[in-house]
Amino acid sequence: MQVDVGSPGAGPYALTPGPDGALWVTLVHSGEVARVTADGQVTVHAVGARPSQITAAQGVLWCTLAGDDALARITPDGEVTTFPLPAGSAPYGLAAGPDGALWYTAMGTERIGRFEDGELSEFPAPGMPSMIAAGGDGALWFTLNQAHAIGRIEPGGEPVARPVPTRESGPVGITATHDGAVWFTEILAEQLGRVAPDGTIQELPLAGKPHAVIAAQADGVWVSLWGAGQVAHVSDDGEVATLDVGPEPHGLAVGPDGALWVALEGGAVVRIDQ
């Protein structure tokens, strides 16, 4: 199923299942978020400039506003509240942490931020951070796009970084899987990386400019191949299967219905049975 979302050029970008049983999608170019039901009904709400990553936490939706240096809180009925961040932050990545706080990446100021109950803490990152995800080890993991490295921070600790084996790789997406591994995309090197529980880093060629990555329900991960108009399923054993989905696939999410949903910046979201 394909659902057109927003006005032409709105730019569906990232998506997440909401606490209300719908999918929520950032529209990066129009400054909106869209609520998409399982039967394809769409409702759009204005939130601010360049909404980027989105997640559900504390019974509401949260997204980063890269163009407004802010976080936005959106209730399931569309009420929006914004929380300013330091000027120049350009927040992008966002994840709910194991400590109950929201964690974000500030690309403009090269920091990792923690937000809880209106209180803000920031930590210098060893390079420009991109996406961030909670790991199974109780830490937050993030990609360092310009430093070509993977970062890790424990709540109450300081960020540490580790270079990936391939130089000039441009890490972007990151996720944790059920087996304790952390997977990440290397958009410049066209590879998928995996940090095993013992710390070993493996890399797998994956043509098509891999962008976002999420855990699959049963085995391995799903990856959006932005340059190829495809998504790929990569098993724990490294087997790759691709599927054509449409122009400029970015965000991925497993919906409340158990299906894979893909945000196409070209103007739609696509539902795929797993």
| Ordered DSSP codes for 160-215 | EEEE-SSTT--EEEEEE-TTS-EEEEETTTTEEEEE-TTS-EEEEE--S-EEEEEE
Q: Does domain 1-84 have CATH number 2.40.10.500?
A: yes
Residue 201 has pLDDT above 90, yes or no: yes
How high does pLDDT run on average in the chain?
Answer: 94
Q: Is 88 left (phi over 0), alpha (psi -120 to 50) or beta?
A: left
Cα–Cα distance measured from residue 127 to residue 110, given in angstroms and rounded to the nearest whole number: 6
Q: What is the pTM of this model?
A: 0.94
pLDDT digits (tens, 9 = 90+) for 215-225: 997 889 999 99
**Which residues sit opposite 253 in a β-bridge?**
261
Question: What residues have CB less than 8 Å from 33, skipping those under 6 apart?
Answer: 24, 25, 26, 27, 44, 45, 47, 51, 54, 61, 63, 72, 74
pLDDT computed for residue 178 by the predictor:
86
Residue 16 in this model has a pLDDT that exceeds 80: yes
pLDDT at 179 (0 to 100): 86
List pLDDT tens digits, range 31-62.
999 999 988 899 999 999 999 999 999 899 99
Residues 252, 254, 256, 262, CA torsion sign: positive
Catalytic residue positions, numbered = 250
**pLDDT score recorded for residue 118:** 87
The pLDDT score that the predictor gives to residue 192 is 97
If pLDDT is split at 50, 70 and 90, which confidence band does 182 have?
A: very high
Q: Give yes or no for residue 1 having a pLDDT over 90.
A: no
d(CA 205, CA 188): 11
What spatial distance separates the first Cα and last Cα of the chain, rounded to whole Å?
13
- The b/e string for 77-113 (b: 16+ C-beta within 10 A; e otherwise) is eeeeeeeebeeebbbbbbbbbbeebbbbbbbbbbbbb
pLDDT of residue 74: 97
User: In the predicted model, what is the mean pLDDT of residues 135-142?
Assistant: 94
> Stretch 129-144: mean pLDDT, rounded?
95
Taking only the tens place, the pLDDT of each residue in 236-263 is 888 999 999 999 999 999 988 889 999 9
pLDDT-derived band of residue 183, with 50, 70 and 90 as boundaries? very high
pLDDT tens string 97-124: 999 999 999 999 999 999 998 899 999 9
Residues facing 26 on adjacent strands: 33
Q: Do 27 and 38 touch, CB atoms closer than 8 A?
A: no
Residues sharing a CB contact under 8 Å with residue 77, sequence separation 6 or more, in sequence order: none
Tally Cβ neighbours within 10 Å of residue 155.
Answer: 14
Residue 274 has pLDDT above 80, yes or no: no
The β-bridge partners of 12 are 27
| Confidence at residue 36, expressed as pLDDT on a 0 to 100 scale | 95
